[in-house]
Amino acid sequence: MIAVNNLGMQFGKRVLFQDVNMKFTPGNCYGIIGANGAGKSTLMRILSDQLSPTHGTVTQGPGERMSVLEQDHFKFDDCTVMDTVLQGHTVLWDIMREKDALYAKPDFSDADGIRASELEEKFAELEGWNAESDAAALLSGPVTAESRGGEVYRYYNGSGSVQFHSDGTFSAQLKEGAFPLGADRGADCLALMEKMGLQGTILSERGEELTFRQSWKGTPLFTQQVTLVCQGGQLTAMTSGRQLVGRPQEDPTRDTISVATALIELVNGVSALGDVCNRIDAIEPGYVAAASLSGPILLTPVWRVTTDTGAYQLDAVTGGVTRVS
């Protein structure tokens, strides 16, 4: 999402536009129209952080970044569609070009090898081609890539289609008969998740829907889940999916509070929410993930606490308490 708040642009005494408020929301395509000189290109430059406005702000959602292609009708005539899309992510594209140039050198040196390994690490952190390879693994064969705009990509073949967003959200529509399930549908669904490189557990089974939760080094990732839809003895869809992207690590700059302090913060936090807790039924440690634009995905340790008054999440770094469903 891109949010524009009280945006204004003025050149000398000429006011181009003022008090502009709007939101560009995921899943939609937008066009900006207007007469010559109305400020269309100026607005685009402000939205892409190439020009500072006179006043107001432009913000993006947590963990989101913007990719921009230049306004040149002929610049990409010699490029494939996939390469054209990737050029909008300038950091990733530059890394890819430098990698390719190094590997093409006939006199590849030790220094080139060191530089190539550094580039490969950065490429992995930015996910590189992982979305396409994940889709191919799930759909059991080569896939065709299709850009949907807004950093959303659809990959498809005869077995179905998978749609990924750069923030890790995804969904899938699978062809009838392509993914039959045996007597233990939970185990079969886990095997399919593992084909996509996702480790975790089946959290619940309710009718036709199974909920899969991803884990990292055996610890639950509470924000990374997907609903698996099973109908007629086969897997037919994946909805509301979110997977961990990039290279995760615990935030090394933040220390966790002690168990005793955490329990005190839990009691105080529940009370501050207006609830009276008389019994703790379960405490499950895990992580929530915060997306990063250029480095590792930072994981914050949390507790999921089930009580007689409901379920809560306690941030094991700050001690903050929130309700969870």
Domain finish residue from 209, 242, 275 = 242
Angstrom distance (rounded) from CA 303 to CA 313: 6
**Which parts of 126-184 fold into alpha helices (H)?**
130-138
205 and 283 both lie in a single domain: no
For a pLDDT cut of 90, what percent of the chain falls above it?
36
CATH code at position 160: 3.30.310
Q: Which residue in 146, 125, 150 sits closest to 135, CA to CA?
A: 146
What DSSP designation does 241 have?
E
163 and 263 both lie in a single domain: no
pLDDT in tens, 212-271: 999 988 899 998 999 999 999 999 999 988 887 666 777 667 789 999 999 999 999 999
**Number of structural domains the chain divides into:** 3
Q: Would you put residue 212 in left (φ > 0), alpha (ψ -120 to 50) or beta?
A: beta
252 and 229 both lie in a single domain: no
Band the pLDDT of 183: cuts 50, 70, 90: very high
Band the pLDDT of 51: cuts 50, 70, 90: confident
In a domain, 123, yes or no: no
pLDDT in tens, 55-113: 888 888 766 767 777 666 677 777 766 567 667 677 777 887 887 788 778 888 888 88
What DSSP designation does 255 have?
P
> What mean pLDDT do residues 3-8 have?
89
Tokens of 148: 């949907």
- Residue 45 domain boundaries: 2-60
In a domain, 207, yes or no: yes
> What mean pLDDT do residues 186-195 have?
90
In degrees and rounded to multiples of 5, residue 223 shows phi and psi of: -95, 0
For a pLDDT cut of 70, what percent of the chain falls above it?
87
In a domain, 20, yes or no: yes
